[in-house]
Amino acid sequence: MVTSQVVVAKIGTSSITDHHGDIQPHAVAKFCGGVAALRQAGHRVVVVTSGAIAAGLPAVGMGGDLRPSDPRTLQAVSAVGQSRLMRVYDDSFAVHGLVAGQVLLAPLDFGSRQQYLHARGTLERLLELGVVPVVNENDAIADDEIRFGDNDRLSALVAHLVRADVLVLLTDAAGLLTADPRLDDTASLIEEIVEFDAELEALAGGTGTARGSGGMASKVRAAKMASWSGVRAVIAAAAREGVLADAVLGVPGVGTVVHPRPVRMSARKLWIAFAVASTGRIVVDEGAQWALTRRNVSLLPAGVVGVEGGFAEGDAVEIVGPGDQVFAKGLARIGAADLARVAGRRSSERPDGMPMEAVHRDDLVMVP
């Protein structure tokens, strides 16, 4: 008997649109058929899909080489494309007797505990009702520029949110390869990753196609996020027959499998580590680095030797050791200008009203 699992399946723009950016109904139908097969096997599935912007561009006469780059136009186009995209999903799932439910999220939603719980409650109730949640980034009203790889990161955050067992990242490639197959005909599939290193991440390369915003690099980052949150991730080809079922069953060679780390990171720390952009750096001495990495303490101004950037209270910052290597990330409790004035001083020497911690341990996460 197959154990029921919670699966998050993410598919990218280039896998469901043609070179003009038009939605390919047969590609969506194939993907939805795979989701339906998982449902039939007793699994619960959340879909994360890209494609709203690509679907909207032809409708407003901006497809092909006329793709705009300014955020306001992209946001407006996504509003046109989202309904078109959902119409195809509705029709494709209806063939299998399934109902789809649209859920629009953004990575920053995960920074608020209240928003996080609202999102979890909605997704869990949809699954209880037998609905297939179809998640996309809320591009149309995002208050930040539409960013590279957001839906890949979003899928990893959703996997954490719904306590998923498996995250499947579908793309145009078979998985992470040992080299670029366009340049090296000996390139082969990396079937398993237990721990990431710089060499592995370098193999992922840069961005994807003109229609998509991701690429293998963002898939690898998302798989790493999933691993850190205790979720097994699989990067595989959307065109492979039975890819979703094989990924969930763990069939050898289905793609690149990234094994989960034994310790699950909290949602807040996962968001800090991977979803929110850093606006500066805090350089610390050797003693502070040792205390932060070994004793799970807060960063105090006494251990700070340098401040870089114009970050404000509440902004994300990287923590850098004496070797100029980033080893942690957190949310600053003291702005850059004030922290620079008290750097190296004891807590008793700080001005009245200034927080004791430069970064509190609850807002601090060690990063590889």
Domain CATH code at residue 305: 2.30.130.10
Q: Are strands 304-308 and 278-284 parallel, antiparallel or unpaired?
A: antiparallel
Under 8 Å between Cβ of 203 and 178: yes
203 exposed, middle or buried (CB, 10 Å; 0-12, 13-18, 19+)?
middle
239 and 297 co-located in one domain: no
Over the stretch 281-311, which tens digit does the pLDDT of each residue have? 999 999 999 999 999 899 999 999 999 999 9
Q: Residue 196 above 80 pLDDT?
A: no
Is the confidence at residue 155, as pLDDT, over 60?
yes
Q: What is the pLDDT of residues 72-86, one digit of tens each?
A: 888 899 899 999 999
Regarding predicted confidence, which is higher, 32 or 186? 32
Cα separation, 221 vs 205, in Å, equals 11
Give residue-wise pLDDT tens across range 7-17.
Answer: 999 998 889 98
Same-domain pairing of 208 and 91? yes
What would the mean pLDDT of 342-361 be, rounded to a whole number? Answer: 90
At 211, the pLDDT band (50, 70, 90 cuts) reads very low
Final residue of a structural domain among 239, 265, 291 = 265
Distances (CA, A) of 265 to 193, 260, 269: 19, 11, 6
**Assigned domain for 28 exists:** yes
User: 225: domain CATH number?
Assistant: 3.40.1160.10
pLDDT at 140: 79
On whether both 250 and 293 belong to a single domain, the answer is no
Contact yes or no for 249/5 (Cβ under 8 A): no
Report residue 170 as tokens.
Answer: 């579908």
> If you average pLDDT over residues 257-273, what whole number do you get?
84
Q: What is the pLDDT of residue 113?
A: 72
d(CA 118, CA 111): 12
pLDDT reading at 230 higher than 80:
yes
Looking at the structure, tell me whether residues 230 and 282 fall in a common domain: no
* Domain-embedded: residue 272: no
Regarding whether 256 and 281 lie in a shared domain, the answer is no
Q: Per-residue pLDDT for 341 more than 70?
A: yes
Rounded to an integer, the average pLDDT of 52-65 is 82
Q: Is residue 216 part of a domain?
A: yes
Residues 258 and 332 in one domain: no
- Residue-wise pLDDT tens digits, 96-153: 999 999 999 876 677 677 888 899 999 999 999 999 999 998 877 766 544 534 688 8
Judge whether residue 186 has pLDDT over 60: yes
Q: Is residue 271 included in any domain, yes or no?
A: no
Return the pLDDT at 159.
93
pLDDT of residue 244: 97
User: Is 1 among the domain residues?
Assistant: no
- Residue 25: pLDDT band by 50, 70, 90 thresholds? very high
User: For residue 208, what pLDDT is reported?
Assistant: 47
Residues 225, 292: one domain?
Answer: no
Same domain, 183 and 128: yes
User: In this structure, are 73 and 107 located in the same domain?
Assistant: yes
Task: Express as a percent the part of the chain with pLDDT over 90.
Answer: 56
Question: Which structural domain range is residue 313 located in?
Answer: 277-366
State which of 5-9, 70-74, 205-209 shows the largest mean pLDDT: 5-9
The backbone region for 318, taken as left when phi is positive above 0, alpha when psi lies in -120 to 50, beta otherwise, is beta
Tell me, yes or no, whether 260 and 323 share the same domain. no
Average pLDDT, the chain: 88
What's the number of domains the chain is made of? 2
* Residues 283 and 248 reside in one and the same domain: no
- Of 1-5, 141-145, 156-160, the least confident: 141-145
Residue 249 has pLDDT above 80, yes or no: yes
Residue 20 has which token pair?
A: 């003009």
State percent of the chain over pLDDT 70.
91
The pLDDT confidence band at residue 267, using thresholds 50, 70 and 90, is confident
Q: What pLDDT score was predicted for residue 144?
A: 58
Specify the pLDDT at position 350: 84
Listed residues 265, 288, 313: the one ending a domain: 265
Distinct helix (H) and strand (E) counts, the chain = 12, 13
d(CA 34, CA 40): 10
How far, in Å, CA of 128 to CA of 167, rounded? 19
Considering the domain architecture, whether residues 199 and 343 belong to the same structural domain is answered as no
What is the sign, positive or negative, of the torsion defined by CA atoms of 117, 120, 123, 125? negative
- Ramachandran assignment for 287, one of left (phi > 0), alpha (psi -120 to 50 degrees), beta (any other): alpha
Mean pLDDT for 40-44 is 96
